Amino acid sequence: MIGLIILIVVLVIVLAAAPFLLDEKGYVLIAFNNTTIEGTIVSFVVLLVAVLAVCYLGYKLLRYLLSFYRHTKHSFFARSQQRKQAAIEQALWSVINDDYEQLEQALANNSAPAQYQDIRLALLAKAALANNQPEKAAERLVEISPEQQLKVAKLWLASGHSSAIESQLRVRAESKKATPLELKVYTEVLVQQQHFTALEAFLPRLLRKKVLNDEQWTQVFCAYFASFPADARTSKYKQLPKKLQQYAYIAYLTEMAKAGQLTAIESDLIKLVKYNEQHQQLAYILSKATAGNAQKLQSSIQERLIKDEDNNALLLALACLANAQGDYDLAARVFDKALNNDNKKYYMQQAALSYEKSAQIDKALVLYK
């Protein structure tokens, strides 16, 4: 731009000086339709210089005004974006620290950048769930864009409204590119919605993909067997493919014990007594047992304890079995020996039951402190 201006100035100087050098004033005539403009070269050169100077100054002024506007506008929006960015960062720190009240304050009034609006809604839904407000959480989740819904599937599950994403999850779970997480979540949705016929058809795919661990298999099958009457559970268990039966075994025994069917599964439970690595599972199963009669199982446990009297898992199994059979004095004596800080969390209710029924209320009260 500066080079062009210098060139024009040089040309103007040459034109202005030429008449004097040639001793001729020069003459300019411009005619346009009925309009005629005439004058000497010197006057036109002066006019041209004046016009160019005005145009240049106008150009510089316009650039300054535009740059001032852009800077002011950018600064305003930059500060706004910074505030929104700070709000979403504060919300994330609040989640890390389980401070959901602060989270809601940070994200009030849509305080989040546009690209984080779905994350903002998800965080608010999580806060609502933490405050035991599942309906409010569902309202937030509905507002999340459709393409992001599967990313908040766990929140839908926690809200109890997982039917909203079941169809989307089914499509993903049935595709060849389904991730282990999508398969797990779809399984949880089927369980929550009690769609056990669909679950039965889906179980072989879960087995092939190897996405569930033993504990997760037990949780799935516990819900599955609990959906059937007690007298139908054995037939349902036997109808499962052999490879699935090994994953369903503990869940089947647990639900049968919970239904008071100890007699029906007593022989299976006696088999668990034989192996040390299965004693924890036996104790877990019997901790869920209700009233029942399994004298052979009790004898088997007691015989094993004679050889291994410090086997804590078997002691807990015996105590829980004694509760189920109504022998609360025996259960209380065994819990006195077996209960400790490591297992108290899991067997506190069973221990409290034995103490209450054997008139040892003081011991029961200590457990709840």
From 211, 220, 279, select the one nearest 248 (Cα to Cα): 220
Local mean pLDDT, 10-residue blocks, the chain (369 residues) = 61 60 58 67 66 75 69 53 75 80 77 78 88 91 89 90 90 89 92 93 91 92 93 93 93 94 93 92 93 90 91 94 93 92 90 90 77
Gap between the Cα atoms of 118 and 110, Å rounded: 11
Q: What does the pLDDT look like over 265-281, one tens digit per residue?
A: 999 999 999 988 999 99
Relative to beta strand 28-32, strand 35-39 is antiparallel
Gap between the Cα atoms of 246 and 108, Å rounded: 51
Establish how many alpha carbons lie within 13 A of residue 263's alpha carbon, considering only the half-sphere containing its beta carbon: 5
Q: What does the pLDDT look like over 286-316, one tens digit per residue?
A: 999 988 888 999 999 999 999 888 899 999 9
Residue 289 main-chain phi, psi, to 5 deg: -70, 140
What is the rounded end-to-end Cα distance, in angstroms, of the chain?
Answer: 85
CA 91 to chain centre: 15
Q: Which two tokens stand for residue 270?
A: 């006696």
pLDDT at 335: 92
Is the CB of residue 162 less than 8 Å from the CB of residue 149?
no
- Report which DSSP code applies to 29: E
pLDDT at 329: 94
pLDDT at 75: 46
Q: Which two tokens stand for residue 192?
A: 């929550």
Gap between the Cα atoms of 217 and 304, Å rounded: 29
Residue 37 main-chain phi, psi, to 5 deg: -125, 130
From 77, 102, 85, 5, select the one nearest 48 (Cα to Cα): 5
Judged on CB neighbours under 10 Å (0-12, 13-18, 19+), 263 is middle
pLDDT at 82: 74
From 261, 259, 283, 290, select the one nearest 334 (Cα to Cα): 283
Query: ∠ CA 177-181-183 to the nearest 5 degrees?
Result: 65
Is the CB of residue 128 less than 8 Å from the CB of residue 140?
yes
pLDDT at 123: 87
Q: How far is CA 74 from CA 39, 63, 82, 115, 351, in A?
A: 50, 16, 12, 19, 68
From 169, 227, 175, select the one nearest 196 (Cα to Cα): 227
The fraction of the chain above a pLDDT of 70, given in percent, is 81
Judged on CB neighbours under 10 Å (0-12, 13-18, 19+), 214 is exposed
